[in-house]
Amino acid sequence: MKRRISRITYEFLKKEFNYLESTGHLNKGQANDLIDLYESPTAAPVQSPMVKMNAVQILSIIGGVLIGLGILSFVASNWSELTKTFKFLILLTTLIVFYVVGFVLEKKKPHLSRASYYIGAFAYGAEIFYIGQMFHLGGNLEDAFLMWGIGILPLGLYLKDNILKGASLVFIYAFIEMKFLFAEGLLEYGPILIIPALFAFGYYFMRNNVYVRLVNFFILYQFIEMTFMFADDWTKYLPILIIPALFALNYFVMNKSVELMIANFVLLYQFIAMHFLFEPILEHDNFPYVAVLAVPILFYIGHVMMNKSQPLFIVNFTFTVILSALLFYHFEYENFAAIALFYFTLWMLITYIQHPDYKDFMRLTGTILHFPTALLMSIPDVWFPMFYKDFSNYMDAPDSKALLASVVFSVLYIIYALTLVKNENLYGVAIVCVFVLRFYVDLSLAFMDKSIAFIIGGLLLLGLGYWFEKTRRKEMVKNEEPHKE
């Protein structure tokens, strides 16, 4: 069996072996023989589509999505006023026109072409949802998602577009979750047959794609949670057998995958917490003392006894965050604004202040989580418990203190994001764009029909993306002219 090493170590050894071969210290071909002794699942990583994108592509995607939402909104809001024939023609024409435009612009304007294909994919989804209603075909939401996912998968394969392929898989997985994971009776056990089929699909048809594999494991673990963790009979203790089997699977079959090790520990901690910790004492007065005592013990085990285990630190950190949320529940603290502000402060702190042994995880976690928390706190409704005792008082003055607090917080956070932009941080650009879009949607929906607001916003973003691309090409030509001379 090949020894598994990290991607960085793999790349380092590969360069060193090639260097030694080029200098004559190794015979010809020995470099490949030596590197072949090691296995690195991330040696040729599958890059996230976002990694390969530039600002123009991102603007085109968001613009296409907004226009698609505008079309869906327009059709939905005027559906009852239209004849059946006109409804069908609108949906079919939109689908054909944008697919044709996308095909025509593939070589000349690739970004606009992709945006057109995305709009067509939205129109296809609208057909599925609305034509079923129009002809009274019956069906339900999960079946519509399945048809949508299957329908856009060929387009994603044709374009080799990871976003469309990803959206297709998301819709298909949404169907599986809604159809089986929340079902009752025999359908509840459908995933026992479906999940192995998903793993086979990911291995043979998706070239063992790491993202598909992780999503399959997510479905598997969610099935275990929904079926056994929340059961009321003897089956709630079956994880005593299932969890060791998952650890064995990871050790012998999955080559000690770090991601699955973390998931296994999370599942183990969840089982222990639900049946031996939270359930018996959550409502008792001694719960805070148990929680405060458990946290340092868990970190001590991971840091000292397990030799600074990274996976255990991740699990312990997650467990601590859950405990903190349960403490708010235990003390019946309902000031949601203060709770959100607490977690936002926590995420910002670990973004810039980390323990040296767990620096990467803490920075990544803080960086990822402070943005959605800030986006949540930009909503005025979140702040009303800070200033009003009950919701009726807030409704009497919805535009006063809560609105002011949300605006002040948003302005300060955008200023922070602009400092990131100044340092050429792409994450800061994303924050500013999302916040501008968030306030644009709020303001535009207050003054115009939402479908028109979405379409105008989408057209503006597409135009901005086109302008960026045109400006970038002019700059490239200008920079190349001195070299030609």
Sign of CA dihedral 391, 393, 394, 398: positive
Numbers of helices and strands, H then E, in the chain: 21, 2
- Structure tokens belonging to residue 432: 């500013």
Helix ranges restricted to H, 301-425: 310-330, 336-352, 359-377, 380-387, 391-396, 401-422
How much is the average pLDDT of 182-206? 78
- Structure tokens belonging to residue 124: 């296809």
Phi, psi of 91 (to 5 degrees): -65, -45
C-alpha to C-alpha distance for 368 and 427, rounded to whole angstroms: 9
User: Do 169 and 149 form a contact (C-beta atoms < 8 A)?
Assistant: yes
Provide the 10 A C-beta neighbour count for residue 233. 6
- Domain edges within the chain: 1-40
User: Do 46 and 8 form a contact (C-beta atoms < 8 A)?
Assistant: no
Helix ranges restricted to H, 51-190: 55-77, 84-104, 110-134, 141-159, 162-176
C-alpha to C-alpha distance for 311 and 262, rounded to whole angstroms: 5
What pLDDT score does 48 carry?
38
Provide the 10 A C-beta neighbour count for residue 238. 15
Provide the 10 A C-beta neighbour count for residue 50. 13
What pLDDT score does 444 carry?
61
Q: Which position has the higher pLDDT, 137 or 36?
A: 36
Output helix, strand, coil percentages for the chain, rounded to the nearest 5: 80, 0, 20
What pLDDT score does 227 carry?
79
What pLDDT score does 93 carry?
85
* Range from 114-128, 152-166, 443-457 carrying the lowest mean pLDDT: 443-457
Could you give the C-alpha distances from 160 to 91, 115, 424, in angstroms and in order?
25, 14, 30
C-alpha to C-alpha distance for 441 and 196, rounded to whole angstroms: 42
User: Following DSSP, what letter does each residue of 224-280 receive, concatenated?
Assistant: HIIIIIT-SSGGGGTHHHHHHHHHHHHHHTS-S-HHHHHHHHHHHHHHHIIIIIHHH
User: Do 24 and 59 form a contact (C-beta atoms < 8 A)?
Assistant: no
C-alpha to C-alpha distance for 313 and 460, rounded to whole angstroms: 45
Pairing status of strand 38-39 against strand 3-4 = parallel
What are 277-324's pLDDT values in tens digits?
A: 555 555 566 777 777 888 898 888 888 887 888 888 888 898 889 888
Stated pTM of the model: 0.55
Q: Please say if the pLDDT value at position 206 is more than 90.
A: no
Closest CA to 415 of 436, 432, 396, 393: 432
The percentage of residues in the chain with a pLDDT greater than 70, rounded to a whole number, is 74
Q: Based on the number of CB atoms within 10 Å of its own CB, is 132 exposed (0-12), middle (13-18) or buried (19 or more)?
A: middle
C-alpha to C-alpha distance for 373 and 378, rounded to whole angstroms: 9
Q: Label residue 57 by pLDDT band (50, 70, 90).
A: low
What pLDDT score does 485 carry?
47
C-alpha to C-alpha distance for 151 and 153, rounded to whole angstroms: 6
Q: Label residue 7 by pLDDT band (50, 70, 90).
A: low
C-alpha to C-alpha distance for 378 and 407, rounded to whole angstroms: 7
What pLDDT score does 46 carry?
39
* Range from 146-155, 261-270, 276-285, 366-375 carrying the lowest mean pLDDT: 276-285
* Range from 10-14, 230-234, 480-484 carrying the lowest mean pLDDT: 480-484
C-alpha to C-alpha distance for 403 and 407, rounded to whole angstroms: 6
Residue recorded with tokens 């296995």: 39
C-alpha to C-alpha distance for 195 and 188, rounded to whole angstroms: 13
Taking the CA atoms of residue 227, residue 233, residue 235 and residue 240 in that order, the dihedral angle to the nearest 10 degrees is 110
Q: Please say if the pLDDT value at position 256 is more than 60.
A: yes
Could you give the C-alpha distances from 226 to 94, 156, 232, 236, in angstroms and in order?
40, 32, 11, 10
C-alpha to C-alpha distance for 52 and 180, rounded to whole angstroms: 35
What pLDDT score does 345 carry?
95
Closest CA to 169 of 198, 208, 129, 133: 198
Q: Which position has the higher pLDDT, 353 or 107?
A: 353
Q: How many CA atoms lie within 13 A of 171 on its CB side?
A: 22
